[in-house]
Amino acid sequence: MYVTYLRRELAGRKKQTIIVAAGLAIAIALVIVVNALAAGVRDAQAAALGSVYGVGTDLTVAGAQAEPGEGGGRPSFDFGEDGGTTNEDGSTSLSQSRLMTDFRRGTLEASSVDAVAGIDGVAAATGALSLTNTTFDGELPDRSSAPQGEGEVPDGGAPQGGGFGGGQFDVDSFTVLGIAPGETAVGPLSSVALGDGRLLDAGDEGEDVAVLDETYAASAELAVGDAIDVGGTEMEIVGLVASASADADTAANVYVPLDVAQAISDAGDVVSTVYVQAESSDAIPGVQAALEEALPDATVSSQSDLASTVSGSLASASTLITNLGTWLSIILLAVAVALAVLFTISGVARRTREFGTLKAIGWSNGRVIGQVAGESVVQGLIGGAAGLVLGLAGIAAINLIHPTISSAPDASAAGPEGGGMPGGGGPFGQAAQTAADVTLSAPVSLWVILAAVGLAVAAGLIAGAFGGWRAARLSPAEALRSVA
């Protein structure tokens, strides 16, 4: 009886049903698309920042930007008189590797790691030493018959005079990160997946072992069990790792034990970065303030600091969706609900005779309210279904087009005052100087679909509540007067 009456009433007011359902469909579709786009922008930003942070890292503490002449200096090669090997044809082979810290940024005393770990609100902390290994490799031809002064190799430098005289030379470099062996909960290794072999463990302290990034190992044709020259020391490769995210790279090409990195680079008992995990997200601001007070000469940064340096279309898209898109969807949804309420109340007013007669033959107020609410909920469900289809179609169109947006860094934040710097400076410097184009997608999640259905039902219930309240106030006497 209830369903039959409900179907008949909806069929008799098709125009009202179509208008109410269409309004809700447009509003719900916009809500779905805006939420999917917001999730896509968050994913794009996460991709832009993913290579910078470990999964468990909330803050980083890096050495302050070095004044000219205070850093590690640019790579220089000292071959000396016996720096090369003379071949049978009279040529001289020259080869040397140098492992150096970033000359644009200072380092921190290793004791800073313990100081950071002792601050209230810090759950874990680990230090890392960021280095660059540069290898000069080549061959000088036999210059014994050359004029005096041409092609000589002075002490402490590379061949000068007549240049390299046809020699073939290569300068190759790769990044090296000295890490605390066995530390995988926070820091660079918290965001990697083991591809082959093993990770560095606590027993590797002082050992000449290394873990390589899979991509770098493939390009260098290296595998587990091979050896790699790091700063003139042969390191056994014990494992290969890859980024846990398909949208991010690992933090370095080569990982070695921290004490080994400090020794072979002659950097001393220092680190370049301290990775910090806070006890909770709410504790991050307080921990950051405490770190800045405890280490005034260091650069303390959080993910939000780095995210604030991202400009270009990525930031514009985020602002547009957060401000305009969200408010537009809320306003449109409110208008759609208000429209449904007005149409329902108007329909009840036109059905005075009908409801009065039903109450006269024994319908209770609850049954009348249930009838009106049921009609409104069905209209809302129709609008929700249509909105879900429209929203999914819009998301499919976005994913098909794959719009590309820019995640270019903010130049003002990438400079000395912003803590970033070209080519290095810890994780923030590396990310701040990277400009990339990110493909925007609009992922669909189950909660968005459930939210669409919930909004549709809620809109129907709200409209039904107002309409039912109006219908419940009708009396049989009004119906009898309208019939007469």
Could you tell me the two tokens for 257?
């034990």
Q: Residue 234 — very low, low, confident or very high, per pLDDT cuts 50/70/90?
A: very high
Better pLDDT: 286 or 314:
286
**Domain boundaries, given as residue ranges, for the chain:** 2-50+313-483, 65-296
Q: In the prediction, which pLDDT does 210 show?
A: 96
For residues 50-75, give the mean pLDDT. 62
Nearest to 304 by CA among 482, 107, 57: 57
Q: In the prediction, which pLDDT does 477 show?
A: 64
Out of 71-75, 238-242, 427-431, least confident range: 427-431
Q: Helix 352-360 and helix 365-401: axis angle, to 10°?
A: 130
> Using one digit for the tens of pLDDT, what is the confidence trace for 437-469?
566 777 877 877 887 778 888 888 888 788 777
Q: Helix 365-401 and helix 2-12: axis angle, to 10°?
A: 60
Apex 274 CA angle, 305 and 421, nearest 5? 50
For residues 254-261, give the mean pLDDT. 94
Instruction: Evaluate if residue 308 carries a pLDDT over 80.
Output: no
CA 462/CA 460 separation, integer angstroms: 5
Q: Residue 417 — very low, low, confident or very high, per pLDDT cuts 50/70/90?
A: very low
Better pLDDT: 35 or 47:
35
For residues 246-270, give the mean pLDDT. 86
Q: In the prediction, which pLDDT does 160 show?
A: 43
Q: Residue 307 — very low, low, confident or very high, per pLDDT cuts 50/70/90?
A: low
Q: In the prediction, which pLDDT does 221 show?
A: 94
Better pLDDT: 93 or 54:
93
Q: Residue 217 — very low, low, confident or very high, per pLDDT cuts 50/70/90?
A: very high
CA 64/CA 47 separation, integer angstroms: 26
pTM (predicted TM-score):
0.54
CA 111/CA 131 separation, integer angstroms: 19
Out of 94-98, 230-234, 304-308, 402-406, least confident range: 304-308
Residues above pLDDT 90, as percent of the chain: 20
Map the chain to HEC letters: CHHHHHHHHHHHCHHHHHHHHHHHHHHHHHHHHHHHHHHHHHHHHHHHHHCCCCCCCCEEEEECECCCCCCCCCCCCCCCCCCEEECCCCCEEEEEEEEEECCCECCEECHHHHHHHCCCCEEEEEEEEEEEEEEEEEEECCCCCCCCCCCCCCCCCCCCCCCCCCCEEEEEEEEEEEECCCCCCCCHHHHEEEEEECCCCHHHCCCCEEEEEHHHHHHCCCCCCCEEEECCEEEEEEEEEEECCCCCCCCCCEEEEHHHHHHHCCCCCEECEEEEEECCHHHHHHHHHHHHHHCCCEEEEEHHHHHCCECHHHHHHHHHHHHHHHHHHHHHHHHHHHHHHHHHHHHHHHCHHHHHHHHHCCCCHHHHHHHHHHHHHHHHHHHHHHHHHHHHHHHHHHHHHCCEEECCECHHHHCCCCCCCCCCCHHHHHHHCCCCEEECCCCCCHHHHHHHHHHHHHHHHHHHHHHHHHHHCCCHHHHHHHHC
Q: In the prediction, which pLDDT does 200 show?
A: 93
Average pLDDT of the chain? 74
For residues 210-228, give the mean pLDDT. 94
Q: In the prediction, which pLDDT does 208 show?
A: 95
Q: Residue 37 — very low, low, confident or very high, per pLDDT cuts 50/70/90?
A: confident
> Using one digit for the tens of pLDDT, what is the confidence trace for 336-386?
788 777 877 777 777 767 777 777 777 777 777 777 778 788 888 888 888
